[in-house]
Chain A
Amino acid sequence: MKKEILRMEHIVCSENGSPVLNHFSMQIFEGEIYGLLCLEQHGITKMIELICRNQPIQYGQVFFEEKLVNHFENNSRSKNRVTLIGNKSCLIDSLSLADNLFVIRSGFRRHIIPEKAIRIQTRKLLNEFQIRVSPLSLAEELTTYERLVVELLRAMIAGNRLIILWQVSDLLSSEELLRFHELIRKLAQKGYTFLYIYNHHEVLRAVCDRISVFENGHIEKVFFESDGIEEKIRDVFARYSYDKLLQLKPDAQKSFPMSPVLELKHICTENMKDFSLSVRPGENVLILDQSNTILWELSSIFSGIKRDYAGKIEPENLIGSYHIAVIPRDPTSSLLFPDLSYLDNLCFPLSEKVPFFWQKQSLRKSILKEFRPELGDLLDQPQLYDLHSRDLYQLIYYRYLIVKPRLIICMQPLSGVDMYIRTYILEMITKLCKEGIAVLTLNTELYDTLYTADRIIQVENGRIINEFLRDEFEKLRTINKGLYPD
């Protein structure tokens, strides 16, 4: 017999007059890992808010642990026993792990803190979950994986029965992700319930008992593990992206100019060991860092922030110039200026390339004329606030189509985006390559990036261990089946 932890029935909810949840229904049982595959991000935030707190709704009802906690006619605004674990840390950085776990929690009413007992308990817990950190170390010293595990422990100590994992896979390397999945499987067997929200089925199907597909503010379909999730989910994806992704596959026989755009020769840093790499014009190279050790270092070398490295980069004058563009993870929040107009944002990187660009009205007019057929009315937008995420990503990639740098570094380009935008970003990357721009994708997972890559460089613990050309990609499947998408 199962115990129902959460049941949401026909939830209708709007935000600023536009519907976000439209007859959303979902039920989660105790000890289950329930996957929510978001084809669209719109509505997810509201859904999470509603699970955590019983806010007013227009229609429907919510049951938590089989008790009615929210009804459209009557709601208490009370909190449910839910923990949300996402990309923002819930730990207090300046406090020790022991304090974060046992002191900073609701229900702790002691005036004198039994430090020794708390320390012993914390050590016991950390050992149990194989985290080699001192209980007295500060939360800010933790790696992302350790932080996620500590947050899980915190949820357990607080007695929260439902734990929401929101886009956590983007934060972890492939190895860490496997360990994390093992851990949540163990906890699920102990009776903890997980709602695992992610935007790619490859991650969810590896760990979830059921996967539901979220789109247009409601769940479209629920797939059970016993029904053969893989095959059925592929049917859903057939209409969204799979066919498109296959179309994006570059030609295996495609040839590139011999002279490289950039060459890294025997680069050594704290984490990188004898790292050599060359990228040719129009080539799309994927660096797959399974242990997530070199991505940030590599990106800061390309941006010109990190200069204390051994080895050589040729040509060195390219580093830090407009010839190399770095697109960070979640670029819509870090690269754009929402108060500026669409056109200003579009031309922003160009101002670095063309001196006195902002005084040259004719140049802006010619950009308007050239890109009007592709970007349409978006070019007239006075601000970016009302734009759809897809439009924002389009803006980012078009900026570089205009500037035409020699090399673009894409840091985990598909992280945190929904299925539609994933395919769109890959289309844009292909478009950049067709323009002769070299693209270097830095990622911790293969998934969809595989479809557009010409070459994959596999890195482990800062060292290149394998290099695969397009016709050798199948080898990856035999090396690590868990990594390879179907």
Chain B
Amino acid sequence: MKKFLSVRFVYFGAAIGCLASVLSLIGLLAAWRTKWFVPFAIVLALLFCALLLACFFLWKPYCETTRIIKIFAASLSTKEIDRIQVHYNPQMKLLGEHLKESMKMSSAFELSKRQAQYQALQNQINPHFLYNTLESIRSEALLAGLDSVADMCEALACFFRYTISNMKDLVAIEDEIQNIRNYFYIQQYRFGSRLKLVVDCDEEDRDVVVKCTIPKLTLQPIVENAIIHGIEQKIGEGIVTIKFILTETRVIIEVMDNGVGMDEKTLEKINENMQDRILNHKDGSGIAIANVNNRIKLLFGEDYGIVVYSTVGVGTDVEIALPRTMERRKEFLRDETEGAK
């Protein structure tokens, strides 16, 4: 059977078949009771068989493909696109494959979103109990004159409220920074004054940058990595610098640490992991970075993502490229919905 089904070929074949059948029928009637009757009858029978075969192998798949396309175009079902067996031409096959790929991406996004929602719901089972307990500890600490414990409880409660109760996909950079400050405040109890956070941004861009939106918990896993894998193993002062750079279309966030850095092999593994869209890292290296990278790519597309630079003994830089504003995100979603329709 033909791999591709040309529309013109189907119509032309059908027309030729019908014309040949009519001519054979006329010939058969004209040859009644003559010696040409039997040959004409055989030709007619063969033509009939050919028409039947053509109907089965060409017309039916053509009608099926047309039907699926009509359903897909009417946005009644997108799953049907998988059932196309025969394509009109190679270009249509390519189009089908691209559609399947993008549907897989969006279903992966939906799945991860559902998983995240499930996780959030599960975590929300009793968050108020957690917050109230932390508040109780805080008041007890204040009564006992332990201000530092009270402050730590407050920071922890704020951190949990942001990570557990905030259900937004996208948050303002200022909220994310505040969360990082809380996280740092808690970590500073462990590391003392040797841990420092520097947030840097061009003064003229600061007002715009803080209002830009980024996926929730983009920075926290990376900062956590910087502290645990970079600074914890280092002797001396550890500085995590978060630098924001604003361009016409992007927000670039650099998370830099002066920790121990990583060797060539680990960096290569992290880069390879970032190429995979499905997180399945048995060795556990760079899961947080790959996860954030995947979320960015799923939300904003392949033009955005993460780049990692690192040198042993000098430190690690994680560069996150994101689209500039929340409005862009809305446009992106609207385009996608219109495309699906």
Query: Interface stretch among A20-28, A78-86, A105-113?
Result: A20-28
A61 within 8 A of B: yes
Known: A2-B246, A3-B248, A29-B247. A22 touches B313 (CB 8 A): no
Among A25, A219, A221, point to the contact of B314 (Cβ < 8 A): A221
In the complex, chain A residues whose CB is within 8 Å of the CB of B321: 7, 9
Among A3, A4, A66, A216, point to the contact of B264 (Cβ < 8 A): A216
Q: Mark A1-25, 1 if CB is under 8 A from B, else 0.
A: 1111001011000000000001101
- Interface contacts (Cβ under 8 Å), in number, total 73
In the complex, chain A residues whose CB is within 8 Å of the CB of B249: 4, 66
- Complex CA gap A7/B310 in Å reads 18
Contact A2 B247 (CB under 8 A): yes
Query: Interface stretch among B119-127, B277-285, B301-309?
Result: B301-309
Contact B247 A4 (CB under 8 A): yes
In the complex, chain B residues whose CB is within 8 Å of the CB of A219: 309
- Complex CA gap A355/B28 in Å reads 106
A220 within 8 A of B: yes
- Complex CA gap A339/B303 in Å reads 47
B292 within 8 A of A: no
B174 within 8 A of A: no
Contact B245 A2 (CB under 8 A): yes
Shortest beta-carbon distance from A404 to chain B in Å:
40
Considering the complex, which residues of chain B in the window 308-341 have a beta carbon less than 8 Å from any beta carbon of chain A? 309-315, 317, 319, 321
Query: Interface stretch among A231-239, A284-292, A320-328?
Result: A231-239
Considering the complex, which residues of chain A in the window 114-161 have a beta carbon less than 8 Å from any beta carbon of chain B? none
B291 within 8 A of A: no
- Complex CA gap A171/B250 in Å reads 38
Instruction: Tell me how many residues of A have a C-beta within 8 Å of chain B.
Output: 33
A22, A59, A212, A220: residue with the most chain B Cβ atoms closer than 10 Å: A220
Q: Mark B281-304, 1 if CB is under 8 A from A, else 0.
A: 000000000000000000000110
- Complex CA gap A169/B189 in Å reads 50
Q: Mark B249-273, 1 if CB is under 8 A from A, else 0.
A: 1101000000001001000100100
Contact A25 B309 (CB under 8 A): yes
- Complex CA gap A213/B313 in Å reads 14
Among B202, B204, B250, B307, point to the contact of A25 (Cβ < 8 A): B307
Known: A25-B309, A221-B315. A10 touches B264 (CB 8 A): no
Shortest beta-carbon distance from B322 to chain A in Å:
13
Contact B314 A61 (CB under 8 A): no
In the complex, chain B residues whose CB is within 8 Å of the CB of A402: none
In the complex, chain A residues whose CB is within 8 Å of the CB of B314: 221, 232, 235-236
In the complex, chain B residues whose CB is within 8 Å of the CB of A238: 313
B274 within 8 A of A: yes
- Complex CA gap A61/B305 in Å reads 11
Known: A25-B309, A220-B309. A10 touches B274 (CB 8 A): yes
In the complex, the chain A residue whose C-beta lies closest to that of B252 is A27
In the complex, the chain B residue whose C-beta lies closest to that of A68 is B303
Q: Mark B236-251, 1 if CB is under 8 A from A, else 0.
A: 0000010101111110
Shortest beta-carbon distance from A464 to chain B in Å:
41
A222 within 8 A of B: yes
B148 within 8 A of A: no
Known: A10-B271, A59-B275, A68-B303. A25 touches B319 (CB 8 A): yes
- Complex CA gap A209/B157 in Å reads 41
Contact B309 A222 (CB under 8 A): yes
In the complex, chain A residues whose CB is within 8 Å of the CB of B305: 9
In the complex, chain A residues whose CB is within 8 Å of the CB of B202: 1-2
B110 within 8 A of A: no
Contact B252 A23 (CB under 8 A): no
Known: A1-B205, A2-B247, A61-B303. A221 touches B268 (CB 8 A): no
Among A1, A25, A59, A221, point to the contact of B247 (Cβ < 8 A): A1
Considering the complex, which residues of chain A in the window 221-251 have a beta carbon less than 8 Å from any beta carbon of chain B? 221-222, 224, 226-227, 232, 235-236, 238-239
Contact A220 B311 (CB under 8 A): yes
Considering the complex, which residues of chain B in the window 145-188 have a beta carbon less than 8 Å from any beta carbon of chain A? none
A213, A221, A239: residue with the most chain B Cβ atoms closer than 10 Å: A221
Shortest beta-carbon distance from A219 to chain B in Å:
6
Shortest beta-carbon distance from B189 to chain A in Å:
27
Contact B313 A3 (CB under 8 A): no
- Complex CA gap A213/B275 in Å reads 23
In the complex, chain B residues whose CB is within 8 Å of the CB of A224: 243
In the complex, the chain B residue whose C-beta lies closest to that of A24 is B307
- Complex CA gap A27/B319 in Å reads 10
Contact B268 A222 (CB under 8 A): no
A3, A68, A227: residue with the most chain B Cβ atoms closer than 10 Å: A227
In the complex, chain A residues whose CB is within 8 Å of the CB of B275: 10, 59
In the complex, the chain A residue whose C-beta lies closest to that of B272 is A23
In the complex, chain B residues whose CB is within 8 Å of the CB of A212: 309
Contact A66 B247 (CB under 8 A): yes
Known: A2-B245, A27-B252, A222-B317. A213 touches B274 (CB 8 A): no
Contact B311 A221 (CB under 8 A): yes
In the complex, the chain B residue whose C-beta lies closest to that of A73 is B302
- Complex CA gap A23/B268 in Å reads 8
Contact B246 A1 (CB under 8 A): yes
Considering the complex, which residues of chain A in the window 57-78 have a beta carbon less than 8 Å from any beta carbon of chain B? 59, 61, 63, 66, 68
In the complex, chain B residues whose CB is within 8 Å of the CB of A236: 311, 314
In the complex, chain B residues whose CB is within 8 Å of the CB of A3: 247-248
Shortest beta-carbon distance from B271 to chain A in Å:
4
Contact A22 B268 (CB under 8 A): yes
- Complex CA gap A363/B247 in Å reads 68
Contact B248 A1 (CB under 8 A): yes
In the complex, chain B residues whose CB is within 8 Å of the CB of A59: 275
Shortest beta-carbon distance from A382 to chain B in Å:
32
> What are 16 inter-chain pairs, A to B, with CB distance below 8 A?
A1-B202, A2-B246, A4-B248, A4-B249, A4-B250, A10-B274, A23-B268, A27-B252, A29-B245, A219-B309, A221-B317, A227-B241, A232-B314, A236-B311, A236-B314, A239-B313
Excluding A29-B245, A68-B303, 16 further A-B contacts by CB distance (< 8 Å) are A1-B202, A2-B202, A4-B248, A7-B321, A9-B321, A10-B275, A22-B268, A25-B307, A66-B247, A66-B250, A213-B311, A216-B264, A218-B309, A222-B317, A238-B313, A239-B312
Q: Which 5 A-B pairs have the closest CB atoms?
A: A25-B307, A23-B271, A221-B311, A220-B311, A4-B247
A residues whose Cβ falls under 8 Å from a Cβ of B: 1-4, 7, 9-10, 22-23, 25, 27, 29, 59, 61, 63, 66, 68, 212-213, 216, 218-222, 224, 226-227, 232, 235-236, 238-239
